[in-house]
Amino acid sequence: MRSIFIILSISIIVLLSSCEREIDYLYKVDNDKLVITGSISPQEGVKIKVTHSIQPTGTYFYKDSIFIANAEVFLIINDSNSIKLRYTVGGFYMLDTSVYFPKPGIRYKIKVESVNYGIAESTDVSIPQKPNFAYIGYIAEKVNINGDSAVHAFYTLYDNYGEENYYYYSFTSLNPAISMWGVLLQSDYETQICGNVDYWKHSFFTDLCLDKPVDTLKFEVVTDYQDDNIDTFNIRFSSTNESLYAYCKNNMQPEGAIELAFSEPRIHSTNIKNGYGIFYGENIQNIIFKLPNKR
């Protein structure tokens, strides 16, 4: 009886193994393309980073740089004039405001020519008006947020009424030893209709939640500094293009390993033809404020 059981077991194993068949999955993968990431603004001129994509299969050594240092990069103005950008380091090409001063009301696009990766160019973008963002003040009494010190700062934004506007903000400490962050205080309802997006260490939102044409925004600025210290912080507040907002929103990944593993694939947004990435216009206002000394 035992021998019959052994024979049956072997027969089942052989039968199952004979049913296995390897099927090659064929899929089309584009050749490596140019990746262009950059901005144009009256404050910082033109900054473009040029790299290239890599194949999702095969072997890639991370010591091999994806920076492209031998490309020709041009800023095209109103489809007529063009200015060549100079290469600096790390894949960056620059155009200083002393050479050309960008301003609103003009159409700009970037064109990149590479011997190895072809030609790619952006769609037209424009520079939005500079945000009329006035600093009002803050509540001197610090509050405690989960063990961290915080202050509440107030600003008034004069929105460009009649247009749909896109903004981002970020907080940085002038002391590199101090880490900090800030958040726009809103209700859950306001957060939903504003379309808030956190990406690139910036926080993006639209003007859908603003009380046009003027609204006062309230920020909670959280710091890790010691109680008796005085320190100075900067808020970078910028108006920008819808293309950048869409790019960051579509590229934002779910938080947490489980959420990321089971999330749907994202359709990446780009305004680069024959390539990937984003070119956008922005207009930046920096506001510096000093935290109170609590001695």
Where a domain ends, among 98, 122, 146? 122
**What is the arithmetic mean of pLDDT over 270-275?**
96
Residue 227 or residue 246, greater confidence = 246
Give pLDDT, residue 4: 56
Give pLDDT, residue 187: 72
**What is the arithmetic mean of pLDDT over 139-153?**
70
Residues 114 and 142 in one domain: no
Per the omega criterion (within 30 degrees of 0), is the bond before 102 cis? Answer: no
Q: Confidence band (pLDDT; 50, 70, 90) for 230? A: very low
Indicate the SS3 state at residue 250: helix
Cβ–Cβ under 8 Å, residues 148 and 157: no
**What is the arithmetic mean of pLDDT over 216-229?**
67
Residue with tokens 């920020």: 219
**What is the arithmetic mean of pLDDT over 35-61?**
90
Give pLDDT, residue 71: 97
Q: Is position 249 within any domain?
A: yes
Give pLDDT, residue 2: 54
Strand order in the sheet with 34-41: 86-87, 92-95, 45-52, 34-41, 275-290, 232-240, 166-173, 202-206, 197-199
Cβ–Cβ under 8 Å, residues 112 and 92: no
Cβ–Cβ under 8 Å, residues 210 and 137: no
Residue 148: name the closest of 174, 176, 175, 183 by CA: 183
118 is in which domain, residue-wise?
Answer: 34-122
Where a domain ends, among 122, 151, 182? 122
Q: Is position 127 within any domain?
A: no
Q: Is position 68 within any domain?
A: yes
Give pLDDT, residue 291: 65
Q: Confidence band (pLDDT; 50, 70, 90) for 207? A: confident
CB atoms closer than 10 angstroms to residue 63: 5
Give pLDDT, residue 136: 78
**What is the arithmetic mean of pLDDT over 244-273?**
74
Q: Is position 59 within any domain?
A: yes
Distance, in Å, from the CA atom of 264 to the CA atom of 248, rounded to the nearest integer, reads 16
Residue with tokens 């590479």: 114
Residues 252 and 140 in one domain: yes
Give pLDDT, residue 161: 62
Q: pLDDT per residue over 120-141, tens digit each?
A: 999 999 999 998 888 777 776 6
What is the domain count for the chain?
2
Give pLDDT, residue 195: 76
Instruction: Check which CATH number belongs to the domain holding 64 and give it.
Output: 2.60.40
Tokens of 263: 């999330």
Residues 186 and 97 in one domain: no
**What is the arithmetic mean of pLDDT over 195-222?**
82
